[in-house]
A = this chain, B = another copy of it.
């Protein structure tokens, strides 16, 4: 394995502060060099972090796009420039090239400790399978969503998001911090094993594949007119079927799931997604059998 440097990003969203604390603590406790692999810890959006908000101009974690896909005015956006800086500095062709990027996020939804993958890259599958095997973590496989592109980890040859919740924005929670510490330490252990060719890939990878997102009920002015139903709130990763309640509007009406297919909702009621008109996303469960090709590709990083 030729991996030399791994980028660990916290605070890609400035109001997701628990991973920033976890990394700070880790940095004091552990050497940044381990078995010949160097760990680069960086705050993704330091200005937003300082201001306690998700972003300044636009969502940094939707700003890692090819130049031709930029908005007209995006050159003036802080986050566009920050994304470029991060790639120039730590990208695979950057001045301190990192082969893997791990992006640490929190959510106000009750997702537990979970992994998000973007597309079906074998290198990501390899790393995700090792972490899932260790902890049984649920994995959200985000793909085929044209409304949501430009994620940070997509700009690296291998990378995944660690997403932990429920925790409020800007609220330090020592349980959440501990969960990040556990994952980050395990990640280092798994990378160390990979360096020593001690890989034990599990037989399969279980993923929840993105199917689409739904918005809240809205009134005639476009304002949200529906709470996540009390039976649905905090029930991320739990199967729903036709007729299950989704929302409760201000007139007391229950809005039900009307689809024919069984789905597993995730990011239920995530506060930051209101502006994206997402009340929750639907997923389907899929089992992917492991393939040695995953390891070969990972080792060739």
Tell me the A residues contacting B by CB distance below 8 Å.
21, 24-25, 28, 52-53, 108, 168-175, 177, 227-228, 230, 233, 248, 250-252, 269, 271, 274-275
Contacts and interface: CB of A to CB of B under 8 A. Distances in A.
Interface centre among A24, A171, A174 (most CB of B within 10 A): A171
Contacts of A274: 52, 170
Contact of A25 (B168, B173, B250): B250
A171 B172 contact: no
Contacts of A271: 168-171
A295 B251 CA distance: 37
Given A168-B171, A170-B274, A24 B228 contact: no
A275 B108 CA distance: 21
A227 B170 contact: no
A169 B172 contact: no
B168 A248 contact: no
Number of chain copies forming the complex:
2
A59 to B, nearest CB: 14
A171 B269 contact: yes
A278 to B, nearest CB: 14
Contacts of A275: 52
Interface centre among A52, A170, A250 (most CB of B within 10 A): A250
Contacts of A24: 250
B172 A228 contact: yes
A172 B108 CA distance: 11
A3 B174 CA distance: 48
Contacts of A169: 168-170, 271
A63 to B, nearest CB: 20
Nearest to A227: B172
Contacts of A251: 28
A271 B16 CA distance: 12
Given A24-B250, A227-B174, A250-B25, A108 B233 contact: no
